[in-house]
Amino acid sequence: MHDKSFVPFTKEMKKDYTILVPNMLPMHFRLMVSVFKTYGYKMELLDDTGADVAEVGLEYTHNDTCYPAILVVGQFIKALRSGKYNPDKTALIMSQTGGGCRASNYISLIRKALKKAGFGHVPVISFSITGLEDHPGFRMSLKKLHGLMYAVLYGDLMMHLVGRVRPYEIEPGSATQLAEKWTRRLGRELGAEGKICYKHVKENYKAIVEEFAAIPMQTRNTVQVGVVGEIFVKYSPLANNNLEDFLVSEGAEVTVPGLLDFCLYCVYNSLVEYRVYKRKKLAYPFVKWAYKKICQRREDLSRAVTENSMLSGFMNFEKVPVLTEGIISTAVKMGEGWLLTAEMLELCEEGCTNIVCTQPFGCLPNHICGKGMMKPIKARYPHVNIVAIDYDAGASRVNQENRIKLMLANARKEKAERTAKKTAPETMCPVVY
C-alpha cells in the first residue's frame, strides 16, 4: 500500500511531461536517456554541479541524511525552482533495487522533501525491474530492458576506453568527444525502432575499440589509480568533486569498475541466497542461467578490447567472488557489500595497487566493506596504496584533494623505486686471486 505522498505517473502524463534524471554515470545515463526518448519519453539529464546543490538538499533534509540522497534531493528541487521547467508538467525518476539504503528507501525521502518545498504534486517514478511501484505511464518491457542492458555494456566499454586513452591523448578531449559521438548513434540503435542483433553488437565493439585506439597519443609518465566505493559517490562527478578529472590532471591513469559489475553482483547475491538460505528455489535455475549469460557477454566485451587494441580488458567476473575468500563472505550484501572489497582485490590482481576508496561520511556498509577491509587487503598485497576519502556536504574539498595528492606522491615514489630496481646493473662478484 502506497503512502499518501505517492503520485503515480499516468499514461496521459507521458505525452507532455518532462522527466528529470539525476546524473550518476554521465556516459551510461546519456545513452539510457537516448533509448527512452525513442519510446516517446521527454527526458533530461541533470548536469548541474557545485556546492549549491548540496545546500538546497540540506534545506529539505538534514545533516544526518546520506550524502547521495542530499545531492539527489538538491538536484531535483533546484531544477524545479529554476524556472526552466513547469512543475505542473514535470516528473522525476529514481532507481530502486529492493535493497537497503538509498536503493529503495530514499524515494520516500525525496517525496517528503518535495512536499516540504511545495512540489508534492510532482510524480517520482520508481525505476525498478522488480516493479516495486506501479506507474502506468512508465512500465518496463523486455525490449526496453534488452536495450538498457546493452546500454550498460556499451557504457562500460566507452568508460573503460576513455579512462585508458584520456591521460595520453595529444588533443585534449578527443576520447570524450568520440564517446559522445557513439552515444548519439547507439541510442537510436538500442531504441524502439532498433533491432538488436548480437553479431552487429560485436561489430560495434570492434569499431569502437579501433576508433579509440586510433586517437593520437603520446607516452607520459603516469601512475595507475583505481576508484572504488559507494556506487553514487564512485561514479558521480557531482558527488566526488570531479574526482576523475582531478586524478587525470595530477598525472594518473584512472580505472573505475563498470556498472555491469554491480548488476552481476546483484544477480550473484540471488544465487547466494539460494545456497545459504534455500530461498527462491523456483527462480534459481533462471538466475543461474542469466548470471552465466551476462558473464559471457562481459567476456566478449573484454575480448573485443584486447583483440583490437593494445589496451587491457577486464577480469572474468566469475573469478571476482573467489578473490574474497578468507577476507569477506559473499553473504555480506548490504549496499555494495562484498563487491566493494572484491573490486579492490581485483585491482590489486590486475597490477593497479593505488586505490581511492570513496564513501559518504557515516555510511556504515561502506566503512565496513571498504575502509574496514584495508588491513586484510594490505596483508595479502603489502605494496597496496589505499586512501579512504569521506564525502559529505560539510567536507573540505581541499583536504580531500591533499590526501589524494599524498597517495599519488607515494605511488610515484613506489614506481620510481621499482623502475630503479629493474634498470640497476647486476652486482659483480670481486675476483679473488
What would the pLDDT profile of 155-192 be if each residue is shown by its tens digit?
999 999 999 999 999 999 999 999 999 998 898 889 87
Distance in angstroms (rounded) separating the CA atoms of residues 232 and 332: 19
Which positions ≥6 away from 398 have C-beta within 8 Å?
none
pLDDT score, position 433: 33
Beta strands of 239-367 (E only): which ranges? 252-255, 354-360
Beta bridge partners of 306: none
149-180 core/surface letters (b: 16 or more CB in 10 A; e: else)? bbbbbbbbbbbbbbbbbbbebeeeebbbebbe
Q: Which secondary-structure segment (H or E) carries 45?
A: strand 42-46
248-285 residue pLDDT tens = 999 999 999 999 999 999 999 999 988 888 877 888 99
**Cβ(191)–Cβ(298) under 8 Å?**
no
In a domain, 29, yes or no: no
The parent domain of residue 131 ranges over 48-140
Per the listing, cell 572489497 goes with 341
Please report the pLDDT score of residue 427 as a whole number: 47
C-alpha cell of residue 37? 526518448
Q: What is the rounded average pLDDT of the residues 337-366?
A: 91
More confident residue, 280 or 305: 305
92 falls within a domain = yes
Chain mean pLDDT for the chain: 89
Q: Looking at residues 197-204, what average pLDDT do you find?
A: 94
Same domain, 230 and 117: no
Which of the four pLDDT bands, split at 50, 70 and 90, describes residue 361? confident
CB 383 within 8 A of CB 414: yes
Rounded to a whole number of angstroms, the CA Rg of the chain reads 23
Q: What is the pLDDT of residue 4?
A: 66
d(CA 422, CA 327): 32
pLDDT score for 424:
58
**Do 119 and 240 fall into the same domain?**
no
Q: Mind listing the pLDDT tens digit for each residue in 84-126?
A: 999 999 999 988 765 666 556 788 889 999 999 999 999 999 8
Residue where a domain terminates, one of 79, 109, 140: 140
- Determine contact, residues 125/9, Cβ cutoff 8 Å: yes
Query: 324 lies in a domain?
Result: yes
Q: Has residue 429 got a pLDDT over 60?
A: no
Mean pLDDT of 365-378: 91
Q: Tell me the one-letter amino acid at 390.
A: D
Q: Buried (b) or exposed (e) across 299-325, using 16+ Cβ within 10 A?
A: bebbebbeebbeeebbbebeebbebbe
Element (H, E) at 390: strand 385-391
138-156 per-position pLDDT tens digit: 988 889 989 999 999 999 9
192 within a domain of the structure (yes/no): no
Using pLDDT thresholds of 50, 70 and 90, give the confidence band for residue 426.
Answer: low
CA distances from 328 to 276, 356, 358, 362 (A): 15, 19, 19, 21
Note whether 253 and 386 are same-domain residues: yes
Nearest alpha carbon to residue 99 among 298, 239, 266: 266
Could you give the CA distance from residue 188 to residue 20 in angstroms, rounded to a whole number? 20
Domains in the chain, number: 2
**Are 235 and 93 part of one and the same domain?**
no
- The more confidently predicted of residues 63 and 239 is 239
In a domain, 130, yes or no: yes
Same domain, yes or no: 238 and 93: no
CA distances from 19 to 57, 91, 123, 126 (A): 19, 5, 9, 12
Band (pLDDT 50/70/90 cuts) for residue 195 is confident
335 vs 413, more confident: 413
Query: Hey, what's the cell of 62?
Result: 538534514
Q: Which of 107, 122, 140 is the last residue of a domain?
A: 140
Q: Is the pLDDT of residue 196 over 90?
A: no
Query: Look-up: residue for cell 597490477?
Result: 351
pLDDT tens profile 18-50: 999 998 898 999 999 999 999 999 999 998 777
Averaged over 73-83, what is the pLDDT? Answer: 94
Can you read off the three cell numbers belonging to residue 395?
Answer: 567536507
pLDDT at site 102? 57
Same domain? For 389 and 271 the reply is yes
Pairwise CA distance, residues 407 & 299, whole Å: 32
Q: 241 and 129 in one domain?
A: no
HEC per residue, 275-316: HHHCCCCCCHHHHHHHHHHHHHHHHHHHHHHHHCCCCCCCCC
Residue 226 parent element (H or E): strand 223-229
Query: Looking at the predicted structure, is the pLDDT value of residue 240 above 60?
Result: yes
Which single residue is written with the C-alpha cell 566503512?
367
Let me know if residue 64 belongs to a domain: yes
User: Is residue 241, in this structure, part of any structural domain at all?
Assistant: yes
Among residues 140, 162, 188, the one where a domain terminates is: 140
- The pLDDT of 339-352, averaged and rounded, is 95
Say yes or no: 237 and 129 in one domain. no
Task: Note whether residue 197 is domain-resident.
Answer: no
One domain for residues 235 and 376 = yes
144 CB-contact burial (10 Å; exposed 0-12 / middle 13-18 / buried 19+): middle
The total number of residues shown for the chain amounts to: 433
